[in-house]
Structures are given as C-alpha cells and as structure tokens.
Structure 1
Amino acid sequence: MDWSALLRMPMTVLLVLAAVFALITLVQLVALRQRLHGGRHLAASWRALLCVGAFALTLLLAGAGCALRGYRLLGEEAPVVEIDAHILSPQRWVLTLSWPDGSTRRLQLAGDAWRVEAIVLKWKLPALLAGVPPLYRLDRLSGRYDDPAQEAQAPRTVIGFDEAGAFDLLNLKKQYPRWVPEIDTVYGSGAFLPLVDGGHYAVSLMRTGALVARPDAATAEKISHPLGG
C-alpha cells in the first residue's frame, strides 16, 4: 500500500482526524460518567461540553471526508493513472488502469483512441491564502474514433469512475451553494492518445489543472509507425 498516495487524498486525513475526535469523545464520556457518579456536577458539566464539542467535530470531519471521497490534492504535477492497452479485435481493446495507490481496474473499450477526463476544484480566499491546494478526481474514461462519422454512429464506450458517490462536494456545491462558498471554480480537463497493442501510457495533472497524457518510448514508436514502417 502506497501511504504517500493515500495521504494525498484529503478524505484519508479527515477520516483519521474524525477517528481521533471520536476516541476523544469516548474518553470524555467515560470521564463524564465518573464525575456524575461521584456527585461532581460542575466538573461533569465541563466534561459534557467537551464531549459535545468533540462529537460535533467528529461529525463535521467525517462528513467532510465523505464529501471529498475520490478527490486528491493537486501538487506541481500529480500522477493520476497509468494505462496498459491490448487489442481484442479491430477497434476493440482491453485496458488495465493502475492508480498511484496500487489499485487496478480492467475494462473493455471501443474506438481508435482512449480519452480520460478529470474534475478540478479551486478555492476562494481565505482558503487560497492558507495554501490549500486544488483538488481533483477522475470523472470518466471513453473511447474515441478517428473518423468523425464513425464517432457519431459506431458503438461508443463511456465509463464513469463514480469515485465520489452521491454525497459529493461537487453535488453539495450545486444543491446548497451557501454551504460550500469557498469553491471558486469547477472545471473539467481531458486528454487522449491513440491506442496501440501493448501500449503503456501515463496520465498526470498539472497544477494549472491540465491533464497530460504521455506514452512510453516503445508506445510512442508504435504510434509513429503503426504498421511497423
């Protein structure tokens, strides 16, 4: 397990903090019970306040962590996903996606090229001045045909990653804009490359929010000379 990759996910940090405050809440509950049994009502009232505050922070951090499920911190250049392609038949491919945290996914795609898209969130002041980096999450992977006419008529493949789930920060922003006023801009970014048998591609996201797709040397050679010429 790549812990550095997990720590780039704000959900991980927030849920760890929520677990810490949940433990603090339990400790305060035990202390509260002891003081109530001892007849120390003034001390018990302070413990009750601490217990309520810790529990409120637990709920807040847990909710924020769930809302940021699937999002990752965007550094100078963040590795997003690596893609390995193998042909099944003309314009039919099987792709293996590998994420920085070690997880993988295998899927089939139709087309001459693959295209991946991401959603990027940027912040307003004061979060921007505090140095909070932009967040991103993968949105979808799709197939792309070279011929526009075929693109309009041939079977297309669109695979949503659905990393965030229903309780998503982006959905909350749309439904309850007053609850999440710190989001400045929400926009999408995409990149695509031709598919070749045995191709290996690396996708990264720049701090500007632009997706960059790069083939390795052998894949670039196959793209340049598809027939081996």
Structure 2
Amino acid sequence: MSHALAIIVLTVTGGVLVITGLWFFLRPRWLLDWLKGMAVFGLILVGLYSLVMAVNLAGYQPLKGLQTVATISTQREADQIWRVTVQIEGGSSNQRTLRGDQWQMDARIIRFTGPVRWLGILPAYRLESLSGRYTSLEQERTAPRTVIGLSEKTWADLWQLDRKFNLPFLEGVSGNATFMPMRDGATFDVRISASGLVAVPVNDQARAAIQFWDQ
C-alpha cells in the first residue's frame, strides 16, 4: 500500500467511525440500554469469577507467613525403596512407598492482587504431590518413578488457569521443596511461605544426610 493510499484509507476509516459514534449519541435511549446491558453482563462475570475463586479456596489452606505444613520421615525397606511417613500439619498421617534416593514435595500457592488483596484475603496453599528421584541420571531416565498425589483435583482449577491465561486479581505460584536425601530414620519439616517450600532437617539422621550430601 502506497503512502498516499494509506492516508486515504485511514482518513475514510476514521471518518466513518466518528460519524457512527456521533450517530449513537443522537439515539441516547439505545446507548443507555446498551450500557445497562454491558454493566449487567460485567456484574454476572464478576460474580461467577468470585464463585469460582470461593470453590477453589475451599480446597486450600490459609497461608500466614512462614509455617510448618508437613513432616516427612523415611525408613529404608530395600535398596532405593523407602517407606515414607507424611504427617500433614493439623491433619492425618499416611505411609507411602517411594523409589529413589531423594524426595521432593510440591505445593500450589495462590497469591491475590489488586482489589481482592485490599480485602485482606490471605494467600492460600495446597500440598500437591510427593515424588522420588534418583541421583543417577541413567536411573532417572529408565527406572520406575514414584509420584504420590496429596490432594484431589478440583473443577476449574484457578491455579492452572492462571498459569495458562494470567487471570486477573490472583497469581498462581509453583512451590516445591528442593530434593532432599532419603536416609534411614531421617525426619524433615516442610515449611511454606508465599514464595515456596523449604525442607528443614529436625533430627541427627537428617542433618547427617544433608552434611554427607553437601560433601
């Protein structure tokens, strides 16, 4: 398109849009009805979004600063097979079997922004999974992996939708504790903040495993 033709096209387009807009203002009743309809439609959308947030938050726990959310204890059953006890803070204790040399816990964190944050709604978290990992790259690629779910899936998962579409008024954060070594009799506390998870050794076996691991 030539420079002169571009000027003509833009002039015609601008003129048509301005005239169309002025024509709408000459019919104020139609314009008022349209604005009312858009306002009602907006209210319905905001209401539905609020309901979806409420349904999702029912499956999460409030996050008040740095807090302990679980305790992980490991007992050796066989070579690279471990009986792991997961004690959820304020909840039940479960024993599961993990394969590998290390464990990791993952969580989903929702932080609120904008007007929702102004309401004083705290961030929320949900423990997602506990998984095992091999130190050998070859085993990590070929050996059986273990991933244990720690929560039930929810319909219209806002955390997942935010990761894909960047939803308004909230932020989905992926929290995970760095892979920790599994050792017979070791116990770790898993703590969470708005930025993620951290694992802290709480007995001599866990501290020795960390010290040996760092060498």
Q: CA deviation at 1:82?
A: 0.7
- Partner AA of 1:124 in structure 2: T
Structure-2 change in CA distance of 1:84 and 1:217 (3 Å):
closer
Whether the 8 Å contact between 1:80 and 1:205 is mirrored in structure 2 is yes
Answer yes or no: is 1:138 the counterpart of 2:124: no
Q: Which residue of 2 aligns with 1:181?
A: 168
Whether the 8 Å contact between 1:84 and 1:96 is mirrored in structure 2 is yes
Residue among 184, 190, 196 paired with 1:197: 184
Q: Which residue of 2 aligns with 1:26?
A: none
- Partner AA of 1:147 in structure 2: S
Structure-2 change in CA distance of 1:171 and 1:194 (3 Å):
closer
Structure-2 change in CA distance of 1:156 and 1:76 (3 Å):
same
Take 2:128 and 2:192, find their aligned partners in 1: how far apart are those partners? Answer: 13
Pair member with larger Rg: 2
* Residue aligned with 2:83, SS: strand
Q: CA deviation at 1:153?
A: 1.1
Residue among 77, 83, 87 paired with 1:94: 83
Residue among 213, 222, 227 paired with 2:199: 213
Counting matched residue pairs gives 164
Take 1:154 and 1:166, find their aligned partners in 2: how far apart are those partners? Answer: 33
Q: Which runs of 5+ in 2 are unaligned?
A: 1-48
Deviation per CA, 1:12-71: give whole Å up to 9, x if none: xxxxxxxxxxxxxxxxxxxxxxxxxxxxxxxxxxxxxxxxxxxxxxxx998755422331
Deviation per CA, 1:85-114: give whole Å up to 9, x if none: 111101001111111123122111000010
Q: Which runs of 5+ in 1 are unaligned?
A: 1-59
Whether the 8 Å contact between 2:73 and 2:85 is mirrored in structure 1 is yes
Structure-2 change in CA distance of 1:64 and 1:91 (3 Å):
same
Structure-2 change in CA distance of 1:64 and 1:126 (3 Å):
closer
* Residue aligned with 1:128, SS: helix
* Residue aligned with 2:120, SS: coil
Over aligned residues, Cα RMSD in angstroms? 2.8
Whether the 8 Å contact between 2:188 and 2:206 is mirrored in structure 1 is no
Q: Identity of aligned pairs, percent?
A: 32
